[in-house]
Amino acid sequence: MLLRESAFTLPKGWLTPEGELLQTGTIRPTTGLDELIAQSDPLVVADPLYLPFVLLSQVITGLGHWTILTPRDLEGLFLRDMLYLQWVYHLINQGDGAQAAMGELWATPWSSFTKR
């Protein structure tokens, strides 16, 4: 099965344990198996609010030079970046897919959200 990956750019960026700031990454659509695995993950069973971290760790195929991210890694995301990734996730999996099919997903929809 071929799953199209979409590129994204985090508004702020993820700080690696080594202190490197990574902003660009790729994400793929979610499969039914991803959902089943996430629902049975011990972290999600213990706390259902942990579901987004588990799902995103499964579908983010790269962030900078990192190719594997764990839910614990994603805990270090800035809130703005977590909200952005949830928006991208929704767009790819439940939206019309038009924007995702166009290539790069930029953080511009959040620019007016953060100007206060």
Single pTM value for the model:
0.80
What is the pLDDT, as a whole number, of residue 99?
A: 52
**Phi and psi, residue 92, nearest 5°:** -70, -40
Residue with tokens 């991803």: 34
What is the pLDDT, as a whole number, of residue 94?
A: 86
CA 45/CA 71 separation, integer angstroms = 14
What is the pLDDT, as a whole number, of residue 4?
A: 86
Cβ atoms of 93 and 4 closer than 8 Å: no
CA 69/CA 57 separation, integer angstroms = 5
What is the pLDDT, as a whole number, of residue 77?
A: 96
What is the pLDDT, as a whole number, of residue 78?
A: 96
Question: pLDDT band at 1, cuts 50/70/90?
Answer: low
What DSSP assignment string belongs to 47-95? -GGGHHHHHHHHHEEEETTB----HHHHTTS-HHHHHHHHHHHHHHHTS
Taking only the tens place, the pLDDT of each residue in 19-76 is: 999 999 999 999 999 999 999 999 999 999 999 999 999 999 999 999 999 999 999 9
Q: What is the mean pLDDT of residues 14-19?
A: 94
Taking only the tens place, the pLDDT of each residue in 70-102 is: 999 999 999 999 999 999 999 998 876 555 444
